[in-house]
Amino acid sequence: MQVKTFLLHPILPYNLNLSLQRLRRDPIYIFEKEAVYRTLKVNQSLYLLKIYFQKHNEKTVKVESVCLDGNMEPEKVQNTLERMLSIDQELQIIYDIMNQLPNLSDLTKTFCGLHIFQEPDLFQCMVKLIIAQQINTSFAAELTRNLIEGVSETVQYGHQTYSVFPSASQITSHCVDDLVKRKFNQRKAEYIIDFAQDVHNGKIDLSKLKHLSDSAVMDELLKVRGIGPWTAQCFMIFGLGRKNIVPESDIGIQKAVQNVYKLKGRPKKNDVLRLSETWHPIGSYVTRYLWETLRS
C-alpha cells in the first residue's frame, strides 16, 4: 500500500481549521482530534486523505495520502489537493476590496484566512447540490449519507470504515424507488438518477464547463432537469471555483445581508443583486463570508 505525505505551502493568510468547518456535516469527511479524513478518487485510483489540522501559527498544511486501490500518482494528487484546499488563492487581494466596503471590512478580521474549499469532483459536487435544494443542511447531510450507504462501497483502513461517494454508473444501477426508500422524495430521486444517467452516457460533460464563461455555464446548466439558478450558482462557486457568483435567492444570504447591513427586514433577491454590484469581482468570497456569519 503506497503512502505519500504532502507538505503544502498556502499563500497567507490561510486558516485551514476555520475553512474546514463548513464540511463537518458532509458524511464523506470524518473529523477526529488531530485531523480530518476523506476518500478521494483521482483518475481511477482511490485514496484516503488525512488532512492534519493546523497548529497555532503553523503556516503549512500537511496531508497524508494512502493509495487504497490503483497506482499512486503524486503529482496529480498534489494538484487536486492544492485546488481543493485553495492553496494558491491570495486572500489579501480579496481583502483589499472588502476593506473598502464599510459593512464588509469587519468580516475580513473576524474570519481572517477563511477560504472557499472546492469539491474535487464535479459530479459529486452537483449531486450534493441537487440533494441540498430547498432543505436544511442537516437533512441534506442525512440524504447524502443515505445515498452513499445505499449505492456506493465503503473501504476499511486501520480500525475505521470510510465512505466512498458513488460514481455516475453506480447511481444509474439503482431506480427511483431505491432512493425513495431512503427518504428522498420522488422528484429529487428522479433528478439525481436522470443526471447520473446523462453523465454516464456522455450527454453531459461537466469538464467542458470549465472553459465557458459564467453566463454560458449558467445557460448550459439550466437546460438540465432538476438544476435551477441556485444549484448552478453554487456549482460555479464550489465546483468550478468562479470568483464572482452571488446566489441572490439563497435564504441564508438574504438573512446574512440583513444582519451585516443592519436592514429592518430581509432583502428580496433583487435587493441582494443590487447590493452585490458593489462586491464585483469577488462576489463568491463575499457570499462565503456572509454564510459564515450565520454559522458563528
> What residue has cell string 441572490?
248
Q: So what's the pLDDT on residue 235?
A: 98
Per this entry, what is the length of the chain?
296
| Residue 258 scores a pLDDT above 80 | yes
Q: So what's the pLDDT on residue 213?
A: 98
pLDDT band at 1 (very low <50, low <70, confident <90, very high): confident
Percentage of the chain modeled with pLDDT above 70: 100
- Answer for the pair 149, 119: CB distance below 8 angstroms, yes or no: no
Q: So what's the pLDDT on residue 61?
A: 98
CA dist 112 and 109 (Å) reads 5
Q: What is the mean pLDDT of residues 257-265?
A: 96
In the predicted model, what is the mean pLDDT of the chain? 96
For residue range 68-79, what is the model confidence (pLDDT) as tens digits? 999 999 999 999
| The three grid cell numbers given for residue 88, joined into one nine-digit string | 494558491
| Residue 240 scores a pLDDT above 90 | yes
| Residue 123 scores a pLDDT above 80 | yes
Q: How far is CA 295 from the centre of its chain?
A: 16
For residue range 130-182, what is the model confidence (pLDDT) as tens digits? 999 999 999 999 999 999 999 998 999 988 999 999 999 999 999 999 999 99
> What residue has cell string 441564508?
252
Domains and CATH numbers, the chain: 2-88 (3.30.310), 122-238 (1.10.340.30)
The maximal CA–CA distance of the chain, rounded, in angstroms, is: 59
CA dist 208 and 20 (Å) reads 28
Residue 73 makes CB contacts below 8 A (sequence gap 6+) with 42, 43, 45
For residue range 269-294, what is the model confidence (pLDDT) as tens digits? 999 999 999 999 999 999 999 999 99
| Residue 296 scores a pLDDT above 80 | no
Q: So what's the pLDDT on residue 98?
A: 97
pLDDT band at 93 (very low <50, low <70, confident <90, very high): very high
Q: What is the mean pLDDT of residues 255-277?
A: 96
Q: What is the mean pLDDT of residues 113-134?
A: 97
Name which of 9-13, 156-160, 263-267, 287-291 the model is least confident about: 156-160
Q: What is the mean pLDDT of residues 125-131?
A: 98
